[in-house]
Amino acid sequence: MATAHKNTCPPEGQPAVSAAEAPVSATGNLAGDVPSPENLLSEYTALRERYQRTTNALASAAHDLKTPLSILNGYVELLQSEKLGPLSDRQREVLRDMQSNGKRLQQFIQDFLTFSALETGGLQMHFAPGDINDCLSEVCRLWSNRFQEKALALYFLANDKLPVFPFDAPKLERIISNLLENSFKFTPQGGTVWLHAEPHMWERRAAVQPSAAERRRQNVSHPNSVKVSVSDTGPGIPAEFHLEVFDDFFRLPGTESQEGMGLGLAIARRLVQGMGGKIWVESDPAGGCKFSFLIPYKPATGAASKGKNR
Ligand SMILES: Nc1ncnc2c1ncn2[C@@H]1O[C@H](COP(=O)(O)OP(=O)(O)OP(=O)(O)O)[C@@H](O)[C@H]1O
Ligand SMILES: [Mg+2]
């Protein structure tokens, strides 16, 4: 069978694109020209500013949606309480649907606001000494009903080897919640999810490796961080996507039909980095994946400002 080919080659002696049609960059360069470092820098700055303005505009639109939405959710709750009159079974069902969709929308808005605050450097970390076990069991408690409803087992055992150390508890809960939400969403019914935390000795790679004496002096054999992991028996994540899953708005091919915007892990990454830690994923080709992150016992000075970069 003959196939039609579009001829993309220009006739001999003519440029592929005329100068008038050639795309021109923000700084006036023809796309074919080699841009100077100064042009590249001012182009980057202009793009960065435009990106921040767009993020801010979207964030303020999202913020404006928050108040009317919580008023609507409040009215749904009022109707559900039957203080305004008894409800039929059908009406209760409709209100349940309205409530769960209202909550979903609230979560989307909250995610987007966190994302833009992190992106524009507007989110501050508040470190206070605390017991991380309390934090982890509180998140498990919040998720336990939903796991039960989907017949998923959720295991967490408090670890008494973990010391009290300074961390940002609400942000840590947010990170774990985002990881548990993914395991909940992607693990099929009947599966298992484990939440685990343990002391960890984190040896950061330095440009110059310390000598043995220096290492002894720094007491590096002692744990200096906590390692928190969420593992599941879901489909896992192919190795080629292990870095990309932490990008903004990234979703694995084939998972687009699931709810979500592809922001949960990007937010988790920024929050972990904001506490001076790091996050990664491991996955077995046979299925299941394990997300782990490290949080140092002593937050590095200026840790929060590093949250924006990988
Ligand atoms: N536990 C997991 N098992 C399998 N795939 C996962 C798991 N966690 C994340 N993924 C993949 O990584 C993608 C990115 O996850 P992320 O949490 O950032 O976004 P999301 O869950 O799709 O949406 P959002 O978190 O914004 O609601 C997911 O869409 C999914 O394809
Ligand atoms: Mg998610």
Residue 20 lies in a domain: no
Residues 58 and 160 grouped into a single domain: no
In testing the pocket of ligand 1, which one of 110, 248, 265 has its CB within 8 Å of the most ligand atoms?
A: 265
> Of 70, 91, 119, which residue constitutes the final position of a domain?
119
Ligand 1 contact, 183 CB (< 6 A): yes
- Give the Cα separation of 85 and 34 in Å (integer): 72
In this structure, the residue with its CA closest to atom 17 of ligand 1 is 264
Strands 289-296 and 153-156: unpaired
**Residues β-bridged to residue 283:** 289
- Give the Cα separation of 100 and 281 in Å (integer): 30
User: Which pLDDT tens digit goes with each residue over 178-236?
Assistant: 999 999 999 999 999 999 999 999 887 665 666 666 666 655 568 999 999 999 999 99
Residues 188 and 244 grouped into a single domain: yes
**Residues β-bridged to residue 129:** 166
Per the listing, tokens 């002391």 go with 199
* CA 258 to ligand 2 centroid distance, Å: 10
Residues 178 and 84 grouped into a single domain: no
CA distances from 227 to 51, 132, 176, 237, 279 (A): 34, 11, 12, 21, 10
Its sign, for the CA torsion 123, 74, 182, 202, is positive
CATH label of the domain that carries residue 256? 3.30.565.10
User: Which pLDDT tens digit goes with each residue over 96-110?
Assistant: 999 988 988 888 888
> Of 119, 136, 152, which residue constitutes the final position of a domain?
119
* CA 173 to ligand 1 centroid distance, Å: 17
Position 117 scores a pLDDT of 82
Ligand 1 contact, 174 CB (< 6 A): no
Residue 27 has which token pair?
Answer: 């700084």
Is 30 within 8 Å of 24 (Cβ atoms)? yes
Residues 99 and 148 grouped into a single domain: no
Q: DSSP of 96-120, one letter per residue?
A: HHHHHHHHHHHHHHHHHHHHHHHHT
Residue 114 lies in a domain: yes
Per the listing, tokens 């002692």 go with 222
Residues 184 and 97 grouped into a single domain: no
Name the nearest CA neighbour of 170 among 38, 77, 257, 267.
267
Number of domains in the chain: 2
> Of 97, 119, 141, which residue constitutes the final position of a domain?
119
Burial 18-46 (b: 16+ CB within 10 A, else e): eeeeeeeeeeebeeeeeeeeebeeebeee
- Give the Cα separation of 28 and 36 in Å (integer): 12
Residue 23 lies in a domain: no
- Give the Cα separation of 178 and 197 in Å (integer): 16
Residues 281 and 244 grouped into a single domain: yes
Residue bearing the bigger pLDDT, 148 or 16: 148
Q: What's the chain's average pLDDT?
A: 83
Q: Which amino acid is at 241?
A: F
Residues 174 and 230 grouped into a single domain: yes
- Residue range 298-302: mean pLDDT, rounded: 73
Region for residue 139 given its phi and psi (left: phi exceeds 0; alpha: psi -120 to 50; beta: otherwise): alpha
Residue 280 lies in a domain: yes
CATH label of the domain that carries residue 103? 1.10.287
User: Which pLDDT tens digit goes with each residue over 267-283?
Assistant: 899 999 999 999 999 99
Residues 230 and 82 grouped into a single domain: no
Residues 230 and 293 grouped into a single domain: yes
Is 230 within 8 Å of 180 (Cβ atoms)? yes
Residues 138 and 85 grouped into a single domain: no
Residues 180 and 235 grouped into a single domain: yes
pLDDT exceeds cutoff 50 at 168: yes
Query: Closest-lying ligand to the alpha carbon of 267?
Result: 1
* CA 264 to ligand 1 centroid distance, Å: 7
Ligand 1 contact, 231 CB (< 6 A): no
Instruction: List the domain range (segments joined by +) for residue 49.
Output: 41-119
